[in-house]
A and B are shown apart, each in its own frame.
Chain A
Amino acid sequence: QVKLLQSGAALVKPGASVKMSCKASGYTFTDYWVSWVKQSHGKSLEWIGEIYPNSGATNFNEKFKGKATLTVDKSTSTAYMELSRLTSEDSAIYYCTPSHWFAYWGQGTLVTVSS
């Protein structure tokens, strides 16, 4: 079955960067766009952007351009998201989810930005 295993929680200082991973299994990784979604403080959800593993093509929510960088490693079926210049506003849970309809989700990576 489809599984998405995300990297563990991170505590990072303001101004730093963090890179998280999403390892996919149970489907052909290169066939589906992988989206990343932010959830702040148990509130609603924000779509950050998506990457097509086969080509590396990306689409971003304008709000997150310059903040998020999406990459993949096809050899390990892993998607990555790096967030830069972190502030307290970036403290959130980040999810990865493949395909057009978000039928499968990773367990989420909690990022806490604090000095």
Chain B
Amino acid sequence: DIQMTQSPASLSASLGETVTIECLASEDIYSNLAWYQQKPGKSPQLLIYYANSLNDGVPSRFSGSGSGTQYSLKINSLQSEDVSIYFCQQNYDSPRTFGGGTKLELK
């Protein structure tokens, strides 16, 4: 199975700050990577697919980048509603696997 290692596990940032979350795959996943946001008590929501494609309705302050085994999610100008847990997921090989999650809190 492809292992997805996310970092950091938790992150504290101030409003308006830019934050970056990293995801490292155990092998090349050829940009078959998605990012999800999950708020407490809610289902995950797709933010980014194919590493850098913004899902419909997702604010443009979210962006994804990366290739090969290394990927990142960047949130510009952090807003209070961005407090969530973020997960990466590879869609390249079965079984599809997720990162362990990054809990983003406000400082």
User: Do most interface residues of chain B lie in helix, strand or loop, or is the interface mixed?
Assistant: loop
Interface size class of B (residues with CB under 8 A): 20 to 34
Contact B95 A102 (CB under 8 A): no
Confirm or deny: B97 has a beta carbon within 8 angstroms of a beta carbon on chain A.
yes
CB within 8 Å of A: which B69-107 residues: 87, 89, 91, 94-101
Confirm or deny: A46 has a beta carbon within 8 angstroms of a beta carbon on chain B.
yes
Q: What is the CA–CA distance of A108 and B44 in the complex, to the nearest angstrom?
A: 10
Contact B49 A44 (CB under 8 A): no
The smallest beta-carbon distance between B24 and chain A, in angstroms, is 15
Q: What is the CA–CA distance of A12 and B95 in the complex, to the nearest angstrom?
A: 27
Contact B96 A44 (CB under 8 A): no
The smallest beta-carbon distance between A25 and chain B, in angstroms, is 16
Confirm or deny: B36 has a beta carbon within 8 angstroms of a beta carbon on chain A.
yes
Q: What is the CA–CA distance of A59 and B95 in the complex, to the nearest angstrom?
A: 9
Q: What is the CA–CA distance of A25 and B19 in the complex, to the nearest angstrom?
A: 36
Answer whether A46 and B55 are a contact pair too, CB < 8 Å, given A101-B46, A102-B34, A105-B43: no
Q: A101-B34, A102-B34, A103-B49 provided; 6 other pairs, C-beta below 8 A?
A: A45-B98, A47-B96, A60-B95, A61-B95, A100-B91, A101-B50
